[in-house]
A and B are shown apart, each in its own frame.
Chain A
Amino acid sequence: MRDTKLRGTALVAILLMVAVACGDGASGDGGGDEGPWTIGVSNTLVGNGWREQMICAIKAEASASGVIDEVVVVNRNGGPTEQIADLESLISQGVDAIILNPTDREALNSVIEEAIDQGIVVVAVDQAVTAEGAYVVTNDQVAYGRLGAEWLFEQMGGTGNVAYMRGIDGVPADTDRDTGFQEALADFPDINVVSEVFTGWDPSTGASQALELITTQQIDGIWTSGIDYTVVDQFAAADVPYVPIVGADNNGFIAQLIELEGDGLVGAAVTNPPAIGGVGASVAISALQGENPDQEVILTPQVFDSSEQGDLEGLYDADQQVGWSTYVNIDPYTSYEAADVATCQGPGE
């Protein structure tokens, strides 16, 4: 048994030498101090604009750093079972760091710890994992819910009817945002939540729900979980005056906050940046360079409201789609230009 294993190893070693001789420069040294290094990315939701931008931010940061020679992306729809397989395949490919958007807080821990044991830097972005030794970079979703709600309730003068348009029931980000929303609500006793709906984070669902809300009820303010620009569209469609609205830093919403200011639109964009991928890459690179970055980075959302038109114009990007997340540069982590994220090219691509 041991003998065959040895022979197998020898065979593999020979094959490996051949592969290297052929110029197949897969780096497998598992994290020295010099670089260049390879970063592996594991994502399990394909075709989602936010996730795609997250991956592009990782590639952009890797390119900008100059010490990464390849970004290997494993991207397919799936749950923890698929992600475990993907992580093991990245380990097998000999990447030096893995950035993942985890499907589960705990189910991936053993494979993450295995990677760390093999000297691989592991960074979980967007959602946390509990594995020991993993770096975690997240957006503070509780603050996201609270900051937007506080702005809205103050804007409404602390009284009136609010429509509460949430994301997907049971998803951690939605639950956390609800916690923050309820915290803010507790401080404003005269605010009534007259309607609570789940948009499923789907722009067209949100639009039809909003149209029904504003045409059938007296609404004084709308809080959305990032489904914003299609909701704003409904006011013009129904010929109803605008009410204060909270959304995310989507390009389409930012454009509306600028263009429709004269028509009476008042709103606030709360950031939920997919650029967190870039932050994750930056943390991974620091760790590879032996700089011992913080084990946990929690990004507090920024609030940009329509009274600060200059800031909004700084965020707006005329070249991008409506769903493009405008808050791209996160100090002090990212070092790329917004255009690098848009072109979405990793090193050597």
Chain B
Amino acid sequence: MTAVVRRRALNLRRHGWSIGVWLLLAVLIGWYVLLIPRFGSFQIASIIKNSLPLVYLAIGQAVIVITGGIDLGAGAMLVLANSASATLMQDQPFLVTILIGFGIILGAAALNGFVGWIINVSRVPDIVVTLATSFIYSGLALMILPGPGGGTSAGFRILFTGSDDGTGTSFGFSLGMLLVPVVIAAFFMRRSRTGLSLYATGSDLNAAYLSGVDIRRAKVIGYAFGGAMAGLAGLATVAITGSGDPRFSIGANATLNSVAAIVLGGVALTGGIGSVVGAVAAAIIVFFLSPILSAMGIDPNTAQVVQGSLIVVVMMIAGLLALRRRRAK
């Protein structure tokens, strides 16, 4: 009985947080519209398309963290998928690039699922194993593509960016590519038996085990899903830039941003709490801070401080709310 009540309270908090983050995003966009001289389809297309990689990465990171893990190799997987697909897709027709894209996503899922399995078997903490995989993935990316290069088909670029050269004013395709994975991930996490088992595993490992949840399977599935999303993020970067870039720093930045996004999006690093939908809004916010701070004329070095401070402040507000809620009981 109390468990049900607590779950309801948790649910409310979860949704409340997501709604809050989406509102914050709406306010930021409104503000941006005021800051810049013109706001039209070019700007909309730019925001949606450019936030795609981080959105995908944040969805994957959210699923893994909800399952009770953390993936420090997510950004490196993006770079690996980017390098591999740019190498394979060069000078290929549209249909072949699509097939390669599916292959990359499946390969990324298999590779990261294997990482989940290693964590299960070795019992080494997630953070250690995935730190190691971040170096392995980066090394593999450099082996596949030693320097910037590669390419993809025009159709593949349209799929993610709405334009055959990656920049333009049409945003229908980008919006579709934003919504479809979000809906799939949200549905999977909330409505499917497997998704709920991920929440259960991340929430309380022992309780989940005692209730008959296959916690090892949950971990492998969580990591595989996260890997697939990181692979998709890599494909999005190929579509946006039309090439591959194996540099380590790109992956490291992407990983840090994905963790920042899910924390801001209300996913608890302790596992079991949070939602994909909140993480998506937060990912767009994390992406969006750079243009908005630059439009405000804030010095870029200060902008980084502002960005970090915002995350701390939001987390403190979250902590205060949680404290008040506990006191109220």
Binding site for B on A (CB under 8 A): 5, 8-9, 12, 15-16, 18-19, 24, 26-28, 46, 70, 72-82, 84-86, 88-94, 103-111, 113-114, 170
Candidate in A8, A76, A80 with the most chain B CB atoms within 10 angstroms: A80
CB contact between A79 and one of B42, B43, B50, B245 (< 8 Å): that residue: B245
Q: A73-B300, A85-B291 are in contact. Are A80 and B167 (CB under 8 A)?
A: no
Does B40 interact with chain A (Cβ within 8 Å)? yes
Does B113 interact with chain A (Cβ within 8 Å)? no
The segment from B12-20, B29-37, B258-266, B271-279 that touches chain A is B29-37
Establish whether residues B38 and A12, one from each chain, have CB atoms under 8 Å apart when the complex forms.
yes
Chain A contacts for B37, CB-based, 8 A: 16, 26-28, 93-94
Residue of B nearest to A106 (CB): B243
Q: A26-B37, A88-B46 are in contact. Are A80 and B245 (CB under 8 A)?
A: yes
CB contact between B295 and one of A81, A93, A109, A111 (< 8 Å): that residue: A93
Does B147 interact with chain A (Cβ within 8 Å)? yes
Establish whether residues A85 and B250, one from each chain, have CB atoms under 8 Å apart when the complex forms.
no
Assembled-state Cα–Cα distance A80/B237 (Å): 9
Establish whether residues B245 and A19, one from each chain, have CB atoms under 8 Å apart when the complex forms.
no
Establish whether residues B243 and A107, one from each chain, have CB atoms under 8 Å apart when the complex forms.
yes
Establish whether residues A170 and B242, one from each chain, have CB atoms under 8 Å apart when the complex forms.
no
Interface of B: prevailing SS: helix
Does B165 interact with chain A (Cβ within 8 Å)? yes
Binding site for A on B (CB under 8 A): 33-43, 46, 50, 53, 146-148, 163, 165-168, 237, 240-243, 245, 247, 249-250, 253, 287, 290-291, 294-295, 297, 299-301, 303-304
**12 interchain pairs (CB within 8 A)?**
A8-B40, A46-B304, A77-B253, A78-B250, A80-B245, A84-B50, A92-B39, A92-B291, A94-B38, A105-B148, A107-B245, A113-B167
Establish whether residues A170 and B147, one from each chain, have CB atoms under 8 Å apart when the complex forms.
yes
Residue of B nearest to A107 (CB): B241
CB contact between A88 and one of B34, B165, B167, B300 (< 8 Å): that residue: B167
Q: A16-B37, A75-B301, A77-B253 are in contact. Are A85 and B46 (CB under 8 A)?
A: yes
Establish whether residues A77 and B249, one from each chain, have CB atoms under 8 Å apart when the complex forms.
yes
Candidate in B38, B163, B299 with the most chain A CB atoms within 10 angstroms: B38
Q: A92-B291, A93-B295, A107-B245 are in contact. Are A19 and B34 (CB under 8 A)?
A: yes
